[in-house]
Amino acid sequence: MKRRIDAADIWRVDRTGMLDVSLDLARQVLEGWRLPRPAVGGGEPRDVTVLGMGGSAIGGDILSSILAERGGPPVTVHRGFGVPPGIGRGTLVFAVSYSGETEETLSAARSALRRGCRLVTLSSGGRLRRIGRGRSRILLPAGFRPRSALAYMLLPMMGVLQDLGAAGFEAEVREAASVLSRMRAVLRPESEAPGNIAKAAAAAFVGRLPAVLSGPFLEPAARRWRAQLAENAKALSLGGTLPEMCHNDLVAWSADPAAAGCAAVLLRDSREDRRLSRRRELARKLGLDRAGRVLEVRSRGRGAVARLLSSVLVGDLASIYLAVLRGVDPAPVEAIDQLKRALAGGGR
């Protein structure tokens, strides 16, 4: 399997232009921030819950990391039916389903209403939009795949929280858009590895099992990397979070011969705790360096939004470049479509 990506390969494999959509993240961030949002009312929430599945839920994970760094209200991301215990009238709930037809999210949104929560729905249509009618709803632009609409689902949630006085995001959003715009020039198809870290990661993954590792702050970005590798490149991957993996997974990295068949990507935050940096250095010496390839991907920017989304962008592009190298169209997700058809037809 080849490790060099030519423009002709991209246009032949990426038939719907998913690479171009991913490279456009800076513009999507600004557009998502400017989407009309409702006047929710009720003041700053005591806590926030995000209901969603798959590509519609990852924005909640990113929001959680952003607010955790700022000391904002705690965010719970709920992936499943119903709602987590403990939420009620003081809880702000975002129900996010790009299609508006995700069964788990519809169930959870109805449960949130029964609990008396403040509900805001985000969808491009569907039944979820109807649940939000007469209450608070945000209509997302249509025509995207859910995993390609991250900015449109994340930024409006941040906007609602700003409107409620929970945080001020304007400067961070502008910085993130600027950082992502500059990154586009470095990560575009015409830019070659090793300077193009997304291409370098894709090449490292060829013939190896990807392992995406991070600290707690960038854990949502690592989750996004793995989801994009699964959907875009149709590739299995491993994960791990420092410092926790120093208490378990490190043993396997140090002793299992399978480590040589892995390619480890270490997501590094520009503002990470020095104690975390020290543990990463030791983890490499004691086990991670036994991987067939080890790459470090550093976040860009100063604010939490820029640092998270810059890490996401590299992973999104790496997954599509890997799809090209593997000769698979990144757009279709046939197994998910089959599952949905089986459920709609009463299958199990």
What is residue 170's predicted lDDT score, i.e. its pLDDT?
A: 96
| 267-293 average pLDDT score | 97
The bridge status of strand 75-78 relative to strand 91-96 is unpaired
pLDDT more than 90, % of the chain: 87
Mean pLDDT of the chain: 94
Inform me whether the pLDDT recorded for 348 exceeds 50: no
> What DSSP assignment string belongs to 169-227?
-HHHHHHHHHHHHHHHHHHSTTSPTTTSHHHHHHHHHTTSEEEEEE-STTHHHHHHHHH
Residue 346 reports pLDDT greater than 70 = no
Sign of torsion, CA 298 64 212 97?
A: negative
Give residue-wise pLDDT tens across range 142-161: 999 999 999 999 999 999 99
pTM, 2 dp: 0.95
Question: Which residues, other chains included, contact 24 with Cβ-Cβ below 8 Å and sequence gap of 6+?
Answer: none
For 222-325, where are the E strands, in sequence order?
A: 238-241, 262-268, 293-298
What does the CA dihedral 257, 296, 308, 76 come to, rounded to 10 degrees? Answer: 20
Region of poorest pLDDT, from 192-196, 211-215, 299-303, 338-342: 192-196
Helix (H) or strand (E) holding 121: strand 118-123
Looking at the predicted structure, is the pLDDT value of residue 42 above 90?
Answer: no
Q: Between 304-326 and 197-205, two packed helices, what is the crossing angle to 10 degrees?
A: 50
Query: What percent of the chain has pLDDT above 70?
Result: 98
Domain boundaries, the chain: 7-16+180-326, 18-168
Topology agreement, domain 7-16+180-326 and domain 18-168: yes
Distance from the Cα of residue 197 to its chain's centroid: 18
More confident position, 344 or 105: 105
d(CA 153, CA 158): 9
Q: Determine the straight-line distance between the first and last CA of the chain, rounded to whole angstroms.
A: 37
Is the pLDDT at 110 greater than 80, yes or no? Answer: yes
Both structure tokens of 147: 């995993």
Angle between helix 25-34 and 170-187 (nearest 10): 160
As a CATH number, domain 18-168 is 3.40.50.10490
CATH of domain 7-16+180-326: 3.40.50.10490
> pLDDT at residue 8 above 70?
yes
Residues 90 and 46: beta-carbon distance below 8 Å = yes
d(CA 326, CA 124): 32
